[in-house]
Amino acid sequence: MGAQEIHKVPSEGVACNNEDMLTLNIAPGQCRGTVLLTHGYAEHAGRYLALIAALNDAGYDVFFRDLPGHGHSAGPRARVDVAELIHLHFDMRGEVRKRMRGGPFFAFGHSMGGLVTAASALIHPEGLDGVVLSGPALRPLPDLPEALVKIMVPVGRLCPGLPAATLDAEAVSRDPAVREAYDSDPLCYHGPVPLLTGATMMDQARRTLAHAHRWDVDLPLLIFHGTKDALADVTGSRQFAAAVTSSGGHAELREVPEAFHEVFNEPEAPQLRAELVSWLGKH
């Protein structure tokens, strides 16, 4: 992966076991900066090895971990309260700040992790030098009425494991090899979306979009989003970027024509990784 060394660092506020650790892949040579990578729903950080390697090769240290209930981490499978994940992200950022080698600090998040990253940076922008989102779940699909979501959240906290929806693996990528790898990956979750996860994701998405105009004007933002994303509507990214720029902030939206949800697992991925590295180097 181009990394010289791997360290595991316990996340604050989380039980310290082997699953609840931040992994650090150190770039060879001089450090140009640090990236905190947060994966999406029903997957795990191990699916980002190509991106992590590209960042390492470009001189960026990368911290990452499996979120609770995902991958190697403990907890009921894929059952999370997204509001709690936002607070976990604060803790992870604090740990990264303590241990980073230097240079600017960037936060990267995909899908649910993109929503968590966006909300974290919106609430507490201090200490961050840039944010990159990939297919952020700012308008997760299906799009439900706000009144229904408000009912679903307390019900989800009472009955967190109640099946709420199904995720179409065909919508992950246009690449059949990526879909096959996702379907056969035992660390990915393939069951129905738990009500707690779905309800709190939609609730936090609505809250984050509603406050996008409060984005720190000094915090640059880059969003990658596929125009054929059937899991997180690209409209959410368009609205978020527009709100940031209209309020004096710096936001770039890179729409990927015809791309599905995981743009960094699409055929365009090598070009997108190069664009990401170039953007980081300018900030």
Residue 81 annotated among the catalytic residues of the structure: no
Hey, which residues does 191 pair with through a beta bridge? none
Of the listed 73, 111, 134, 173, which one is catalytic? 111
Of the listed 39, 44, 225, 261, which one is catalytic? 261
Of the listed 20, 81, 229, 233, which one is catalytic? 229
Report the candidate in 138, 136, 132 with the shortest Cα–Cα distance to residue 250. Answer: 132
Residue 261 annotated among the catalytic residues of the structure: yes
Beta-carbon contacts of 147 under 8 Å, excluding residues fewer than 6 positions away, are none
Beta-carbon contacts of 21 under 8 Å, excluding residues fewer than 6 positions away, are 8, 9, 10, 11, 65
Residue 111 annotated among the catalytic residues of the structure: yes
* Residue 107 to residue 195: CA distance in whole angstroms: 27
- Which residues are marked as active site? 111, 229, 261
